[in-house]
Every structure is written in structure tokens, then in C-alpha cells.
Chain A
């Protein structure tokens, strides 16, 4: 079974005359256990997509199913949200309680777990996200990166199979971003969690198993990072750009250096460049 499936989904905000159609006849499947990066310019419908997955929004047409359960069925929503956790963009707008531990407990309390189990869940969530040290701290005193890690802890305390990051790193500094992405990668690699990372950072997309580009309400391209970043016209057309190292590699190639294809990270660029220049 697919983790997530969008079938011919259309969605528009506003009145019935379809003031602004965000998604048009949109189809998509996401495999369980994969790390998917969702790219697209502001307003391309990425966040809408995320909110359709856990039923915060319901499609006007078509269906969204999570592990076979349709989000259009109200009775499914509780179960769907148990299985698809979400972390939002603004670190300040997600915590319900003032104290970290109480906040992480919010989800498990909502699904009616008993105290012992909640405590286990909190212990686990804080450990995985490296926030044990803040257990009794006030949320307001944490840095942005720490708050987002607490938000992830809050989401995974429900032990979901899917974690959706809706531009969760966009308001963080590089250190905070690294911290958060490290946690997310661990969850994906070691716990087998399906991750959907909505982001503006091309460097995050490079590390994904699969990259999706959204534009004009449809999926413009879908494939491995290598495949996607080889499609330069689509990248430009959708208001995106190549990862920095890829851009430099392109320019170097144009200047006559035979570096070969598929350079997306600074490590691979450095490797090829050193190899080439060492020979001469």
C-alpha cells in the first residue's frame, strides 16, 4: 500500500466560483519509508498539499488517501492524523503548553494514552530529537531550532508513520536548520519514517530520495535529485535554482573543465575538481 495517494485532486481557496485554484487535477503517490522533498515557488500549492494529507484541508474534487483511508471521511481523520504528524513553519505558533514536557504530552493525551505510555512516548521523542535537556524548560526561552525540534518531538510522540515538514526550517538559522535536518534524517533512516519535506532550500532537496516540483497547480517533475536537477529549464521555469555547488559546476563545465554530470553537493564537486586538477 502507498503511504499517500493523491488522485485527480483539485483544490481552490475562497468562494465557489473558484477564485484561486491552487491544485488542478493533481495526482501523486508517496511510498512508505521514502524521504520526499517538495519544491516550488511561493504560492505554488506546496503547503496546501501538506494540509490535504492530514485532512486540515479537504479536496474539492478527487481523493487523498493515507494508508488507504480517505481524508474526505470525517471518521478517518483521527486515525489519519495519528499516522501523519506535521511540523509547521513558525516555531512560535505550534506549542500549546508553556513547558516542553507538557507540550510534547499534548498529542499523546489527545489520543487517550495512559500516563505510563505517555511518559514512554515523551522520553523517546525527547531523546530522538536531542531535547532531553530542555524537558522542564519554558518553550519561550528556547532558540528557533530548539523549538522546532520540540515541535518534531510533539509530532512523533503520537508515533506517526509519516512526518510532514511544512517549511519547518525556513525561519531558522543555519545551525538550527542543521539540527532539525539531522533529526529528520535519523527518523527517516533509522526509524523508517516517511518524510515529506516542503522547502526552499535546494541543499535539503539534494539529500532526499525523491524530489517533486510543484508549479501551476500540477506536479511539474518527479524523480531522484540527480534527475530533477538535470532538468534546468523546469527548474528555472518554476522559480527555483540549482544547488549552489551544481551551479558552480555548470559554470566550470562551460569554461571548459570536463567535470562530468550529477554534481549536486560541494563534497562531490570538490572531489571531481581535485581529481581533475591533480592529474595536470
Chain B
């Protein structure tokens, strides 16, 4: 599924004195198969944008298509397809563990599946729940536990499983690793890569504040600021704009900072800013010139 937004606009609290333009002429294409990073400060419009993707915020102005679903069409027609859309575009909000409600892990994960496929047989539900949990490295021993008894990191994985259970083609995650410790962060990012590499989820969109994380993990990046997209493209293109990114107070990955500093002393390194590539390029530059 390809996601295409053209000139998307959105205003909160229209007509009141607290009106806020959250999106101003946002145009963005998210190709199928990409691991897309969305960057921006709180209030930059990125949350508003991702909530458009599964119809949580209806299109007010502009065009938005997700796969073959035109979300900017007649709202009455569009609403009929919300369920289909939401099953295909999974959305994991910030701190998703706060949405857990059922008595057991099984019931909580099954919630989404039963909503999307009301006619599912108990066997199907079971298979889907097992499948989703195992994708997140959670075994059968968790099924009957209360979600409240789990650790923070486990809760979060259960919550993500609750979204994956409907087999979405696109998975959107708003700051998936926020609040986790370094080990927890690395584990979760590795799991997301596994999902993506195995094509279990074709497209992954993450919202992140961490430039290094985006640079290491994403194939494409869009930078939001004050409701507009200021940069979009491959990480190696976007993170070349060191000065502008610093001005936006978003910063750049360490690798891109270093490349920029080296450039100032006349050392030109042609790198895509991933740590692996950066280190290789620096090492070979060093060896060749020594």
C-alpha cells in the first residue's frame, strides 16, 4: 500500500480563538516497503498527520489516498471503509501500554482481531493472537497473565501485538521506544526490523525525536515543523542540512555532525551517515592517506 498525501491542511478548534493550523499544505508519499521516519517537535503537526492515515482525523482539505482507499472522498463513503482501513494501517500510539484493559494478555490482543473480523472462529482468533505475540517474542506462557502484572517493556510489546494481530500492511508507531531503557530500546527496534525484513509488515512508519535512531533505521525521512514539511528524502540527503536542522533545534545524527566538522577542515567524506558506513569510510580515508 502506497500512501499519498497532497496539500493536506488541518485546523484544530476552527472558528474559536484557540484555532491552530496543525497542517499546512503537507504533501508526502510513503512508498510500500519503506521504513519511514517522521521527525518534528511536539506540536509540529506530525501527530496530526499520522492520525490522518487511518481516519482518526478526517481529511478536511487536500487529498489523501492509502492504497486504493481515497480518504479525501465523500466522508459518508469514506467512513464505511474505516474498518478496512484501520485493519490495514495499524497505529501504535505513544505509551501504548496505557490502552491495555482486558483481564488477560490473550483477551487484550484478541480485542482488535474480534473487532475487525467479527465472524472469526475461536481457532482463528487463537492462531492470530499466538502469531502476533510470537512476532514480539512473547511465548504462550504470557497468554493467561494479567497485562497489569507485566513489566513496562513487556506491556508495550503486548500492546503492539494487539495492533499487529489484524495483520496490517502498514504499521505506524508514535515514538515506540520512548521511556524504555537502552537495552529495551535496542530489543524493540530489532523486533521492528525483523517484522519489516520478513515482510510481515510491508511498510513501517515511526515518529521519533532521535536523529541517530532515524538515521540508523529508516529508509526515508520527513521533517515536520510548524505544520509543514521542511525536508523529505533519504536520510543521507536530509541530514546533510546540518545548520538548518540545528536551527530547528532538532539536531543531526552524530555521524552527520562529524562529517560536517571534517568538511570544515577540508576532509570530505562521502557517507550515508549510518554508523557502519561512516566508520568504514573514515577508516579507509585514514588508511589511504596515512
Direct contact of A and B (CB under 8 A): yes
A contacts, CB < 8 Å to B: 40-43, 143-144, 167, 170-171, 173-176, 178, 200, 202, 239-241, 244-245, 247-248, 251-252, 255-257, 266, 269-270, 273-274, 276-278, 280
B62 at interface, CB cutoff 8 A: no
Among candidates A170, A171, A257, residue contacting B286 with C-beta atoms closer than 8 Å: A257
Q: Are B254 and A171 in contact (CB-based, < 8 A)?
A: no
Q: Report Cα–Cα, A201/B180, bound state, in Å.
A: 10
Among candidates B179, B183, B250, B282, residue contacting A252 with C-beta atoms closer than 8 Å: B282
Q: Are A174 and B249 in contact (CB-based, < 8 A)?
A: yes
Q: Are B283 and A200 in contact (CB-based, < 8 A)?
A: no
B43 at interface, CB cutoff 8 A: yes
B19 at interface, CB cutoff 8 A: no
B212 at interface, CB cutoff 8 A: yes
Q: Are A170 and B178 in contact (CB-based, < 8 A)?
A: yes
Q: Which residues of chain B are within 8 angstroms of A174 by Cβ–Cβ distance? A: 41, 209-210, 249-251
Q: Are B43 and A248 in contact (CB-based, < 8 A)?
A: no
B contacts, CB < 8 Å to A: 41-43, 151-153, 178-184, 186, 209-210, 212, 249-251, 254-255, 257-258, 261-262, 265, 267, 275, 278-280, 282-283, 285-287, 289-290
Closest 4 CB pairs of A and B: A239-B183, A255-B283, A241-B182, A270-B261
Q: Which residues of chain A are within 8 angstroms of B261 by Cβ–Cβ distance? A: 270, 273-274
Among candidates B151, B278, B286, residue contacting A248 with C-beta atoms closer than 8 Å: B278
Q: Report Cα–Cα, A232/B141, bound state, in Å.
A: 34
Q: Which residues of chain A are within 8 angstroms of B285 by Cβ–Cβ distance? A: 277
Q: Are B265 and A266 in contact (CB-based, < 8 A)?
A: no
Q: Are B279 and A266 in contact (CB-based, < 8 A)?
A: no
Q: Are B286 and A175 in contact (CB-based, < 8 A)?
A: no
Q: Which residues of chain A are within 8 angstroms of B279 by Cβ–Cβ distance? A: 248, 251-252, 255
For the complex formed, measure the closest distance between the CB of B177 and the CB atoms of chain A, giving whole angstroms: 10
Q: Are B151 and A42 in contact (CB-based, < 8 A)?
A: yes
Q: Are A266 and B286 in contact (CB-based, < 8 A)?
A: no
